[in-house]
A and B are shown apart, each in its own frame.
Chain A
Amino acid sequence: MHPETNTVDPAEIAKFEAMAAEWWDPHGKFKPLHMMNPVRLDYICRQIAEEFDRDLIQPQPFTGLRLLDIGCGGGLLCEPMARLGATVIGVDAAARNIPVAETHAAQSGLDIDYRHDTAEAMAAAGEQFDVVLNMEVVEHVADPLAYLTACKSLLRPGGLMVCSTINRNPKSFAMAIVGAEWVMRWLPKGTHEWSKFITPDELFDLLSRAGLTPVDRKGFVFNPVSWQWSISPRDLSVNYVTASTRPA
């Protein structure tokens, strides 16, 4: 474990440590993530099924796939992936998240390997995966290109990375910072720094420069009337997600 040799901003880790115990409270501080989780999972499941030719009707369609979730938090993505049959390793740079996630996985009867580690350290150790989940992390790192290059080397050739983040424009500032942090109090103030947000074109460019092949991008859109998230092929103006593969 080498959490010190990484590109994670220490101030960011401290903010998340303060929130770690709240992960599994559906009406607590992480309510927005819980609300968004179904569309994140839908997108991830569809991309994995397409890339690895799996049938989502099966009870455990992801059996045999080795999956890494970077910034696993309390395990909101790791647990569903383990239920669907994947061999799951969750890493988080915030040490306090690990026992929270381990405790919950044990309660759920799921076998998940949680580690206090970073993408960079795991890449240096030569670990490789079929799938890397990189959800809402890239906007928190100090050097996105170095980080995404480490992520690429964590993929075996032909592997899939799903990466989501927040767009940078006046609307995303209004929605993600003024709306989610200041008005709704969904997230603690200071969770996000708008200047670190990345546009979809910039992310595709970064992914390409990191040696990956971007294959898809979609928007995650919140409807304040139905109070639900949905996946949009066109509206990437605030939250969005990308899929890319490591060339074989």
Chain B
Amino acid sequence: MRLMTRTQDILIVGGGLNGPTLALALARAGLTVTVIDAQPAAPRLAEDFDGRAYALALASQRLLDRLGVWAGIADNAQPMLEIKVTDGRAGQGPSPFFMHFDHAEIEEGPMGYMVEDRFLRRALMDAMEAAPGVTLRHGARVAAQEVTETGVTVTLGDGEVLSARLLIGCDGRQSGTAARAGIRRTGWDYGQTALVCAIAHEKPHGGVAHQFFMPPGPLAILPLPGNRSSIVWSETHANASAIMGLEEAGYLAALRPRFGDFLGGISLAGTRFTYPLGLSLAQSFVAPRTALVGDAAHGMHPIAGQGLNAGLRDVAALAQVLEEARQRGEDIGSILVLERYQQWRRFDTATLALATDTFNRLFSNDNPLLRMARDIGLGAVNALPGLRRGFIREAAGLTGDLPALMR
């Protein structure tokens, strides 16, 4: 059955974090947007803490602030005041060489904020509700998409047809939007799975984020409000599935020697998750009347917490390119316009994906020579203030050609 066609300027596929943020940025630029979310509304609005949290770089926080989303999150966000990077082996404690980044060395403020998924999600939903020009379609699947010379149509699972001038895929590393547009992907599996959970601990974390490099994969301890931290812990696939199969007590027993005892006794503070880790790059970020954002364009290793931040940088760059195009009367879906976005973001994200890849390979390793080399490297970065400040700005997302919404 073919229902009435609804027309808007832009269709966004994906209701996670990038899709809604992009919808708000585009609406602010005077464009009408419909977000097609495969998920029903209920899980997007759930109020319980499920254990998921994000490290938002300062640049990403600025974007959310400009879009009026941050006000709804600020009270529940934990500033990241320091980052400590250490090379360690389970049970042996950290090596003497480590890097210490303190936000006091840059003038912009904290390097970033830790935010629980539930607060970010609901703040985005509230902002979309309030934004004129944004329509949200929950529980809607894309059955087909078709590009013509001057427009694009998307047929939903129930037969409804939506049309627009531009289609944007924010639908993750298995992007259906990219696949339907004929955009191929390249990448590889890291042989690692990330174990993600939140823990409660006895002692305060003081706003310090820790990154330990261990032979099976990196472990990040990221501060949440209160005496809680978010854990991202990479293990080989086999170890990870064995650890996930354990009861809560066994899981904590496996975590404890890696975590150390500097925060006192620990307990689980939410659900446990796993994510297989891999690199997945789209061979092009754009196609006629189609653009890819976030993991749909570049799924990378979460080693430095760069996945969401890179996605939000895509969001800010694409919104700026489209706003400028609209204001000068250009066809916003024209490949000429979309190539400006690709030119801006592709090199940056490919570099970042390769850097995270290299970093992970260098550190997820017990080779004594490599271990010595990286310890000297960490020590050198730590000893040189200029280099250290460079890393702090990089962590805060303040380097490179920053979109206006992040400045």
Residues of A near any B CB (own CB < 8 A): 26, 34-35, 37-38, 41-42, 45, 56-57, 59, 79-84, 107-109, 227
- Interface core residue of B150, B327, B329, B336 (most chain A CB under 10 Å): B329
CB <8 Å contact, B150 and A107: yes
Q: Which residues of A contact B335 (CB under 8 A)?
A: 26
Of B30, B324, B328, B336, the residue contacting A34 (CB under 8 A) is: B336
Q: How far is the CB of A46 from chain B (nearest CB, A)?
A: 10
Known: A41-B330, A45-B329, A80-B329. 17 other contacts (CB 8 A): A26-B334, A26-B336, A37-B336, A38-B324, A38-B328, A41-B328, A42-B328, A45-B327, A57-B327, A79-B329, A80-B330, A82-B329, A83-B330, A107-B150, A108-B150, A108-B331, A227-B343
Q: How far is the CB of B291 from chain A (nearest CB, A)?
A: 15
Inter-chain contact total with CB atoms closer than 8 Å: 40
Q: A59-B30, A107-B150 are in contact. Are A41 and B334 (CB under 8 A)?
A: no
CB <8 Å contact, A41 and B329: yes
Q: How far is the CB of B27 from chain A (nearest CB, A)?
A: 12
Bound-state CA distance A56–B29 (Å) is 11
CB <8 Å contact, B150 and A84: no
Q: Is B48 an interface residue (CB 8 A)?
A: no
Top 8 nearest A-B pairs (CB, nearest first) are A80-B329, A41-B328, A83-B329, A84-B329, A26-B336, A107-B150, A108-B150, A56-B327
Bound-state CA distance A227–B327 (Å) is 22
Q: Which residues of B contact A45 (CB under 8 A)?
A: 327-329
Q: Is B247 an interface residue (CB 8 A)?
A: no
Within 8 A of A (CB), among B147-186: 149-150
The interface size bin for chain B is 10 to 19
Q: Which residues of A contact B325 (CB under 8 A)?
A: 38
Q: A34-B336, A59-B30, A107-B150 are in contact. Are A79 and B331 (CB under 8 A)?
A: yes
Can you identify 20 A-B contacts, CB atoms within 8 angstroms?
A: A34-B336, A35-B336, A37-B330, A38-B324, A38-B330, A41-B329, A41-B330, A45-B327, A45-B328, A59-B30, A79-B329, A79-B331, A80-B330, A83-B329, A83-B331, A84-B328, A84-B329, A107-B149, A107-B150, A108-B331
Nearest to B29 among chain A residues (CB) is A57
